[in-house]
Every structure is written in C-alpha cells, then in structure tokens.
C-alpha cells in the first residue's frame, strides 16, 4: 500500500509539472504582425469616408475599446492596456507580448509601427 501511494504521488507530481510547463508555454512572449483596430469594427472599419485611424478613434469615442487584429490568426485580441496602443489606432504594428491563457487578450510589452 505504501509503495502504491509513493507511485501515485510521483505520478501526480509528473502531471503537475507537465501542466505547469504547458501553462508556461502559453505565457511565453510572442511577436505578432497586427492592425490596431477597435472591438466594434474588428477586422474591417465600417464608417464610410473615414480612414482607419479616424474610424478607430471615432469608435473609441463611442465606447469601443482598441484591439489588435492579427490576420495570420484571423483573430481580434483585446489589449491589456489601452494607453499602450492609442497612438497606433488604425495602423499596422508589430506587437510583442503575452497571450492570455484563454487566448483573448494580449499583454503588450512593446509595440511599433510597421
């Protein structure tokens, strides 16, 4: 019985370490080519007669939040800190950061225009 308990404990430890490694892999810093958009228009700005930056700013003024559209993933990600992306509204950027565990939000570590 004691031997079984030791084996079970060792197996549990292995599973715990594997889970921690998987979580760490999800939280590794990554780099994306993205477009700073808003979460209302998302992939394509919808206001006629406006440039992408004008549309994104207008949407934010109406209550939308800025977001990142990553064409390679065909996904729109929330941004952890709006202040980090505000000056890039409507622009193509390169973003380095960490994707949240639920794959919905990017914590921006650095951003620059492309």
Predicted confidence (pLDDT) per residue in 15-53, tens digit = 555 554 445 445 799 999 999 999 999 988 888 899 999
pLDDT of residue 3: 74
Q: How far apart are CA 12 and CA 52, in angstroms?
A: 52
Q: Which of 13, 19, 63 is nearest to 41 (CA)?
A: 63
How many structural domains comprise the chain? 1
The whole model's pTM is what?
0.75
Does residue 62 belong to any structural domain of this protein?
yes
Does residue 76 belong to any structural domain of this protein?
yes
Predicted confidence (pLDDT) per residue in 91-108, tens digit = 999 999 999 999 999 999
Predicted confidence (pLDDT) per residue in 46-93, tens digit = 888 999 999 999 999 999 999 999 999 999 999 999 999 999 999 999
Q: Which domain holds residue 56?
A: 29-113
């Amino acid at each position: 019985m004691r031997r079984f308990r030791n084996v079970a404990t060792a197996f549990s430890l292995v599973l715990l370490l594997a889970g921690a490694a998987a979580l760490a892999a999800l939280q590794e810093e990554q780099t994306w080519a993205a477009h700073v958009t808003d979460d209302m228009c998302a992939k394509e700005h919808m206001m006629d007669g406006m440039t992408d930056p004008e549309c994104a700013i207008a949407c934010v003024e109406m209550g939308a939040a800025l977001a990142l559209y990553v064409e390679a993933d065909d996904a729109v990600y929330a941004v952890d800190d709006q202040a980090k992306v505000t000056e890039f509204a409507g622009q193509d950027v390169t973003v380095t950061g960490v994707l949240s565990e639920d794959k919905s939000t990017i914590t921006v570590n650095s951003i620059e225009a492309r």
